[in-house]
Structure 1
Amino acid sequence: MARIGIIGSEGRMGQALARAITEAGHEVAGGVDQGGNTAALAEASEALLDFTSPAALETNLHAAIGAGIPILVGTTGLEERHHAMLDSAALAIPVLQTGNTSLGVTLLAHLVREAASRLGPQWDIEVVDMHHRMKVDAPSGTALLLGEAAAAGRGIDLAGNSERGRDGHTGARAEGAIGFASLRGGTVAGEHSVILAGEQERLTLTHVAEDRMIFARGAVAGAAWLIGKPAGRYTMPQVLGL
């Protein structure tokens, strides 16, 4: 049994995490929200779960480092400077950051990488995500995770080979580019498809999230797995042994 602390405990995801921790036979060490004492929570925990905001990342990482415990970060919308913070923290503690903690999405990313590596650049790749109307970032963290998997499979850099926000007369699609489309509406928990379109054939790999509990369960599995690991930057595929 592990004592796991929740940063952002009053939000919908925080409440789901509390249920998932109990479901898995672990103990909720406590929770904090904006303005709370994150350092005190870290001292009472064996691992931290952070699903808050990019603006809070630095404070949360410092709390985990101060207590010498691992942290799993599921916050999306991170920029280069946030990843630099994560890399720095990983020199001192185990850190796992991911755009999606679902075990199903983790396996999907593995399959996308395999497919992209075996099908040539003449197969166009499009990543489509749909989420509830309240989601503020696009493409979603999961869409970017899947795009990175496709790029890794092809041995290319995603930043220099992606197409987003098509509108008007855009010209022909660039060969080898990875396209993104984001849909927002209703109460959709999360739906992601990676389309590989070739000549006269098309392969679609899809994951549908029916409840945010799938993300909470995966996050708890990841946090528990981190306990006892040496300092470093870890990934969800490692949790699954991929």
Structure 2
Amino acid sequence: MSDPLRLLIHGATGRMGAALLRLQPDVPATTLGAAVARRAGTSAAGVAIAGVDTLGDVPAFEVAIDFSLPDAFDAVLDLCLARRAAFVSGTTGLSADQRARLRAAARQLPVLWAANFSPGAALLADLARRAAAALPQWDCDIVDIHHAHKKDAPSGTALRLGDAVAAGGGQPRYASIRAGDVVGEHTVQFCGPGERIELVHRAADRDVFARGALRAAVWLARQPPGEYTMNDMLGLTPD
């Protein structure tokens, strides 16, 4: 039996980081190598969290799971390059330069960036692409609803859905709502003469994203260097 996969959780005090720390023990193929956040402390589950100033001193790990902010992204990517560790990231709001750095890193190690780690959301993007290809000339609107504290709008998932629609030949428009404590809801609406189709995904809690990221980490550790997506992991390949 192979040794458990050692993980680095980066952004450990955020909503997603807390979910990852809570759910990681349920994935026997993994073990927690280290947890890092902007400030050192202890998680609700009693896990010691190191500060980012000690990021370079963390113990050995095979995969980093990053849910942080753009200003913390470069340091953890650099660490993965130095350690030749696989890199899973759900950090949104990245700049064009950071996107380019991620693509360059994929020449040396396996990387998987996703705006949404829910398998259902990945399938939604695939369905949106197929619908756009089948319904040329129909209007397409993408609406995302999130909690009032979410900073980016449209959401990263909404933009990913828009990319999928564009890949199918559609021209997406966006609308964003920030209210209450909504975890995440995305609707892709296609309107034609006298009819309308709605594709909807609703996340009931953040655990679906954390489970998806942990699943992605286990899968990515077995892949050669390259840039991967949730579709790759799920086997959703374009027609």
The answer, yes or no, to whether TM exceeds 0.5 is yes
Asked whether the 8 Å contact 1:131–1:190 carries over to 2, the reply is yes
- Corresponding position of 1:7: 10
Amino acid in the other structure paired with 1:224: V
Separation in structure 2 between the aligned mates of residue 143 and residue 36 of structure 1, nearest angstrom: 33
Separation in structure 2 between the aligned mates of residue 36 and residue 9 of structure 1, nearest angstrom: 14
Q: Deviations along 1:52-97, whole A, 9 cap, x unmatched?
A: 0111111111100111110101001112111111011111111111
User: Which one of the candidate residues 200, 222, 226 is aligned to 1:232?
Assistant: 226
Separation in structure 2 between the aligned mates of residue 54 and residue 105 of structure 1, nearest angstrom: 22
Q: Hey, which bits of structure 1, 4+ residues long, moved more than 3 A?
A: none
- Corresponding position of 1:160: none
Residues 192-207 of structure 1: pairs in structure 2 closer than 5 A = 192-207=186-201
User: Which one of the candidate residues 96, 119, 124 is aligned to 1:80?
Assistant: 96
Separation in structure 1 between the aligned mates of residue 92 and residue 155 of structure 2, nearest angstrom: 7
- Give the TM-score of the pair, scaled to structure 2: 0.89
Q: What's the C-alpha RMSD, in Å, of the aligned pairs?
A: 1.1
User: Which one of the candidate residues 39, 45, 57 is aligned to 1:40?
Assistant: 57
Amino acid in the other structure paired with 1:128: V
Higher relative contact order (CA 8 A, sep 6+): 1
Separation in structure 1 between the aligned mates of residue 6 and residue 221 of structure 2, nearest angstrom: 10
Question: C-alpha displacement at 1:119, in angstroms?
Answer: 0.9
- Corresponding position of 1:137: 152
Amino acid in the other structure paired with 1:60: V
Q: Deviations along 1:121-140, whole A, 9 cap, x unmatched?
A: x2100000000000000000
Separation in structure 2 between the aligned mates of residue 228 and residue 85 of structure 1, nearest angstrom: 22
- Corresponding position of 1:27: 31
Separation in structure 2 between the aligned mates of residue 116 and residue 37 of structure 1, nearest angstrom: 47
Gaps of 5+ in 1: 155-175
Residues 1-242 of structure 1: pairs in structure 2 closer than 5 A = 1-25=4-28, 26-34=30-38, 35-41=52-58, 43-120=59-136, 122-154=137-169, 177-242=171-236
- Count of equivalent residues: 219
Amino acid in the other structure paired with 1:3: R
Amino acid in the other structure paired with 1:30: A
Amino acid in the other structure paired with 1:239: M
Question: C-alpha displacement at 1:40, in angstroms?
Answer: 3.1
Q: Deviations along 1:26-64, whole A, 9 cap, x unmatched?
A: 2111101123422333x5211000010111111111100
Gaps of 5+ in 2: 39-51
